[in-house]
Amino acid sequence: MYRNHHFFPCLHCHPHSYIRMVQHLIERCLLLHMSRDQCIKALAEHASIRPLVTLTVWRELQKENKDFFRAYFHSISPRPFMSKTSSCFINLI
């Protein structure tokens, strides 16, 4: 009987399952408001996913969901302190 010696799906044995797993892990990183680079680093360190694989899946997701990623990048981009302060003063007036 065949026994899978991998804990996670293997890129070579089950490429479709592996890519779906990477996609799922990227989606979890998005829920944690991680940047692309933070996601790549986290998956490399905690799930032993090669950075090139994560980057490739990320790019495909980005191609398929342009509007989502545009809004996502806007929401996680650092905003200057002055603009936050200015908007607070405007709301108080």
> Does residue 48 fall inside a structural domain?
yes
pTM: 0.71
> Does residue 7 fall inside a structural domain?
no
Is residue 86 very low, low, confident or very high in pLDDT (cuts 50, 70, 90)?
A: very low
The residue range of the domain holding 84 is: 15-92
Domains contained in the chain, number: 1
The structure tokens listed for 65 are 């969901």
Tens digit of pLDDT for each residue in 37-70?
Answer: 999 999 999 999 999 999 999 999 999 999 999 9
> Does residue 47 fall inside a structural domain?
yes
Q: Is pLDDT of 88 > 60?
A: no
Residue 39 burial (C-beta neighbours within 10 Å; 0-12, 13-18, 19+) = buried
> Does residue 64 fall inside a structural domain?
yes
> Does residue 36 fall inside a structural domain?
yes
> What proportions of the chain, in percent to the nearest 5, are helix, strand and coil?
70, 0, 30
